[in-house]
Structure 1
Amino acid sequence: MKRIYKVSIWAIALLLLVMGSMVYIMTNQFGKMDALENRHAKFSELTYYSTERNEFISPEKLIFNPEQTTGGDPGFARFFKTSPNAPQFPLPKQMLSKNDFSETPSEYAVYWLGHSTVLLELDGKRILFDPVFENAGPLPIITRRYDVSPLNEKICRRSTLSSLHTTTTTIWKRPPSSFWPTEKYNSLRRLA
């Protein structure tokens, strides 16, 4: 009888822990959108904002080719097919570490560091786009990033879990300047 009681207590505790974690994950948001009137007042002067559609409009025609999605048609099966649009040769790749970068940035170089992170060296400046300093998703099995080399600018263009991870946003608060080109979340303005 004691064994059943102990197992029941542990099962209830585990269930409460899982439920508490789910509630925390679901409520740990980065802010809320401004009211529609506030967005219209704030953005109506911009030539690239449509008050009718309540969205930003690109001044350039955006090209969208769903038939060229990696793996062919979009959907889960694309991960198990060879893409007809993939290059017919292996792409050059080299594992990089902090020691591979000189202290002075070059005039022009681009490095893809994985996931959505790109490092651009331009005119002696080093600019990091969409850094991922922690996990790139909700599971802890994804490789973590530990080294942050000296940067001139940091730019975040996406509002995703990887870009808004707590460690990433904490690092974004520090100099050099940070750019968050979105007005979607109130707290992003506080972080930038």
Structure 2
Amino acid sequence: MEQREYGYARVSTKEQHEDRQISALLKEGIQKENIFIDKQSGKDFERPKYKKLLRRLKKGDVVFISSIDRLGRNYAEIMDQWRIMTREKQADVVVLDMPLLDTRQKGDDLTGIFIADLVLQILSYVAQKERENIRARQAEGIAAAKARGVKFGRQKMEVPSNFREVAALWRNGGIPLREALEKLEIGRTYFFKKIKEFQI
């Protein structure tokens, strides 16, 4: 069966451009019609073009990706998809900016798959530790700020001292709503919330 080479590219939004990724894939000799492009977040693998690529993959095919983060952001899911491509589909994966992530045979005792799997495991561990460190630093920062008396969340809005007077004037038809809001310097939603609360 003929081996086919595919490319996969992803950008997070439709405003971003995938030109640099496409250029890198074309330099590898991949035909433009064999490059699959998704324009959405990498938080999961519910992506139409990626799914289409996966359906097309056959044993011996090769998938080229410019960078591992183009495949996804969640390393646990990346490893799962890596396993599907390399084990279940028996295809090879090549990450262009990281030569060790190349599952093609290397010509020595250790296969490309073993080396790539090992590198992925290390990357996954490092990424997980970094996420944990970020959460720990955030928690420490919040605790320190609270100790200094910093308040979190939306600050409670003070009711204007002349609210009842202006609201009563509006209720009795003395002034239009727009003028009442301007006098009180508050929004329409807050105004009616307080009208109901104070039963004016």
* Pairwise same-fold verdict (TM > 0.5): no
TM-score, normalised by the number of residues in structure 1: 0.24
TM-score (norm 2): 0.24
Where is the strand percentage greater, Structure 1 or Structure 2? Answer: 1
Higher Rg of the two aligned structures: 2
Structure holding more helix per residue: 2
